[in-house]
């Protein structure tokens, strides 16, 4: 079992490079299943546990997977199964993309229901609604989803909630359906656009990704392609927030500044300086921040995945901040851990009220989920004294070399194997 040990209280200086986007990569890797001709070569793949998990699942289905550095080559023409009944399926959320990909290519899929971070009820009813609208029959037996279709026929789907997963999953299946599919009230996140661009590189005909109406004209087959994954919006946001909270000057490279606008706007409101130049953002801060209110919303609103890291800097901001977590019902498990470090936070349902304190003090804490872990790293870097973070396997699911990147910025952080 590894833990992170942080000796905090130091400003951050220097520059780091952001890796490929987790939530794009975890959809693009399963989407390679849909190529019946030629291999997919995908660059800027983050070597994180969630991606490794998908590599194992694809290998178990017979795909040939080879990763060198951050480039992965996947040959799915040789796939020999549509049953993804492995333990790995329950270790992550994005395993549900196996359903859309297998259904699209083979008209059937048998997969174990997905797992992922414990942040509240995470139904897949909108995914199922889309598959059924395309003509599939969906059965849930115990913890297994069985989907079959004689033929997928293009249709209109109006999503009842804005869902990243449902938008991507139904888009995958519709890509190889007969006729045109219109997805309304679609998610607009950058990774939805990235997956659509990837599918178009494979020969799909998808227009409108990034707006709430996506139009997919089904094609007969998809082929291999070369592709590069977009930079990770949330990893970039995590480093920007850390720089603002610790103080110092940090250049965050290999980003798309447009994707960071909601985080940038809040940091400026708090008194930090954010400069955008080409593919970089620089965050300058003296560590003395003003309280602000946050409401998480689908893109382009403030991302729920940055809510917990943001709360780690609001706890030392001057004044009272209110966080309204509108996406997930229980994404507040980090609060008890922050309180161990001296934070003053009251939680009622999805609302957290934070009274800024002068300083945080190092403590022994647990990463209850991925972004809770990121929040605790930021808090540990801000706090005086030593912070020990356990259960960091959650962090490894979604951040590549996070402690090494913080060390480049001058942080005193190390991984210790117990
Ligand atoms: N929802 C439904 N029915 C559905 C699907 C979703 O009610 O069929 C609800 C959810 O319960 C939630 C809301 O809709 O309240 C949004 O969920 P969404 O489907 O957008 O989330 P997801 O696809 O399960 C992805 C990311 C999450 C990120 C959310 C929101 C992946 C693998 N996961 O999850 O990432 O929080 O979108 O942007 O892409 C993370 O990276 O830490 C993470 C949790």
Name the helix (H) or strand (E) containing 174.
Answer: helix 164-175
Ligand 1 pocket member 320 (CB < 6 A): no
Is the CB of 24 inside a 6 Å radius of any atom of ligand 1?
Answer: no
- Reported residue count of the chain is 418
Q: 117: Cβ below 6 Å to ligand 1? A: yes
Per-residue pLDDT band for 167 (boundaries 50, 70, 90) equals very high
Let me know how many helices (H) and strands (E) the chain has, helices first. 13, 26
Using the predicted structure, report yes or no on whether residue 378 has a pLDDT greater than 80. yes
CA distances from 335 to 241, 257, 314, 315 (A): 17, 29, 12, 10
**Residue 18 near residue 399, CB atoms below 8 Å:** no
Q: Which residues pair with 323 in a beta bridge?
A: 294, 352
Give residues with Cβ within 8 angstroms of 157, minimum separation 6.
129, 130, 133, 170, 181, 182, 183, 184
Cβ of 373 less than 6 Å from ligand 1: no
Q: Whose CA is nearest to atom 36 of ligand 1?
A: 305
Backbone torsions φ then ψ of 352, nearest 5 degrees: -115, 130
The tokens for 167 are 């938008």
Sign of the CA dihedral running 349, 351, 356, 361: positive
Q: Which atom of ligand 1 is nearest to the CA of 191?
A: 39
- Cα–Cα nearest to 200, from 222, 185, 180, 229: 222
* Ligand 1 atom, smallest distance to 116 CA: 44
CA 48 to ligand 1 center in whole angstroms: 19
pLDDT above 90: residue 388: yes
> How close is the Cα of 412 to the center of ligand 1, in Å?
33
Residue 188, pLDDT above cutoff 90 = yes
Amino acid 31: pLDDT: 98
pTM equals 0.96
Closest atom of ligand 1 relative to the 371 alpha carbon: 42
Q: For residue 369, which atom of ligand 1 is closest to its CA? A: 42
**CA dist 323 to 88, 153, 414, Å?**
33, 43, 31
Round to whole Å and give the CA distance between 66 and 48.
Answer: 15
- Known catalytic membership, residue 40: no
The mean pLDDT of 160-164, rounded to a whole number, is: 97
The answer to whether the CB of 328 is under 6 A from ligand 1 is yes
- How far apart CA 146 and CA 36 sit, in angstroms, is 22
pLDDT band at 87 (very low <50, low <70, confident <90, very high): confident
Selecting among 53, 63, 117, 246, the annotated active-site residue is 117
Give every CB contact of residue 335 below 8 A, 6+ residues apart in sequence: 311, 343, 345, 347, 352
All domains in the chain, ordered by first residue: 2-18+231-417 (3.65.10.10), 22-216 (3.65.10.10)
| Residues ≥6 apart with Cβ < 8 Å to 321 | 291, 292, 293, 294, 314, 353, 354, 356
pLDDT cut 90: percent of the chain above it:
91
127 CB near ligand 1 (under 6 Å): yes
pLDDT tens-digit series, residues 205-214: 999 999 999 9
CA distance 3 to 214: 43
pLDDT value of residue 90: 76
Q: Which atom of ligand 1 is nearest to the CA of 129?
A: 8
Quick check: 296 pLDDT over 80? yes
CB 300 less than 6 A from any atom of ligand 1 = no
Range of weakest confidence among 140-144, 350-354, 406-410:
140-144
Q: Which of 30, 35, 153, 38 is nearest to 100 (CA)?
A: 30
Tell me phi and psi for residue 251, to 5 degrees.
-100, 120
Q: Which residues, listed in sequence order, are joined to residue 33 by a DSSP beta bridge? A: none
Q: Locate tokens 């590189």: which residue?
A: 201
Instruction: Name the closest-CA residue to atom 16, ligand 1.
Output: 163
Residue whose Cα lies nearest atom 28 of ligand 1: it is: 305
Query: What sign results for the dihedral spanned by CA atoms 253, 12, 367, 340?
Result: negative
pLDDT in tens, 102-139: 999 999 999 988 776 666 677 899 999 999 999 999 99
Angle between helix 164-175 and 22-31 (nearest 10) = 20
- DSSP bridge partners of 42: 72, 227
331 lines ligand 1 (CB under 6 A): no
Task: Give the C-alpha separation, 150 to 177, whole Å.
Answer: 11
Angle made by CA atoms 312, 122, 92, in degrees to the nearest 5 = 75
Question: How far is 27 from 195, CA to CA, in rounded Å?
Answer: 7
Give the strand pairing for 294-295 and 320-324: parallel
For residue 300, give Cα distances in angstroms to 273, 321, 347.
21, 21, 25
């Amino acid at each position: 079992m590894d833990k992170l040990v942080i000796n905090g209280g130091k400003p951050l200086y220097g520059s780091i490079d952001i890796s490929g986007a987790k939530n794009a990569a975890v959809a693009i890797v399963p989407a390679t299943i849909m190529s019946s001709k030629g291999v997919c070569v995908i660059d800027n793949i983050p070597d994180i546990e969630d991606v490794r998990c998908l590599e194992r699942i694809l290998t178990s289905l017979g795909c040939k997977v080879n990763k060198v550095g951050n480039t992965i080559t996947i040959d799915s023409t040789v796939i020999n199964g549509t049953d993804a009944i492995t333990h790995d399926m329950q270790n992550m959320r994005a395993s549900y993309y196996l359903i859309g990909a297998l259904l699209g290519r083979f008209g059937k899929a048998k997969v174990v229901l997905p797992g992922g971070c414990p942040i509240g009820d995470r139904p897949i009813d909108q995914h199922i609604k889309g598959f059924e609208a395309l003509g599939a029959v969906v059965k849930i037996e115990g913890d297994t989803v069985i989907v079959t279709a004689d033929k997928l026929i293009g249709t209109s789907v109006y999503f009842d909630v804005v869902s990243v997963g449902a938008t991507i999953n139904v888009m995958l299946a519709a890509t190889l359906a007969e006729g045109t599919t219109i997805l309304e009230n679609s998610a607009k996140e950058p990774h939805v656009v990235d997956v659509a661009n990837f599918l178009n590189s494979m020969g799909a005909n998808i227009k409108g990704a990034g707006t709430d109406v996506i139009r997919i004209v089904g094609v007969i087959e998809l082929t291999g392609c070369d592709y590069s994954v977009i930079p990770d919006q949330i990893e970039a946001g995590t480093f920007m927030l850390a720089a603002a909270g610790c103080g110092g000057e940090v250049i965050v490279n290999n980003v798309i500044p447009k994707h960071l606008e909601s985080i940038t706007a809040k940091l400026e409101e708090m008194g930090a300086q954010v400069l955008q130049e080409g593919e970089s953002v620089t965050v300058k801060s003296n560590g003395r921040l003003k309280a602000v209110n946050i409401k998480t919303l689908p893109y382009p609103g403030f991302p729920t995945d940055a809510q917990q890291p943001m709360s780690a800097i609001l706890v030392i901001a001057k004044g009272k901040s209110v966080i309204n977590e509108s996406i997930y019902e229980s994404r507040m498990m980090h609060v008890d851990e922050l309180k161990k470090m001296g934070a003053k936070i009251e939680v009622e349902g999805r609302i957290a009220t934070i009274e800024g304190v002068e300083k945080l003090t190092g403590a022994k804490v647990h990463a209850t989920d991925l972004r809770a872990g990121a929040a605790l790293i930021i808090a540990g870097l801000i706090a005086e004294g030593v912070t020990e973070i356990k259960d960091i396997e959650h962090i490894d699911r979604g951040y590549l070399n996070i402690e090494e990147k913080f060390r480049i910025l001058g942080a005193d952080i190390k991984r210790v194997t117990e």
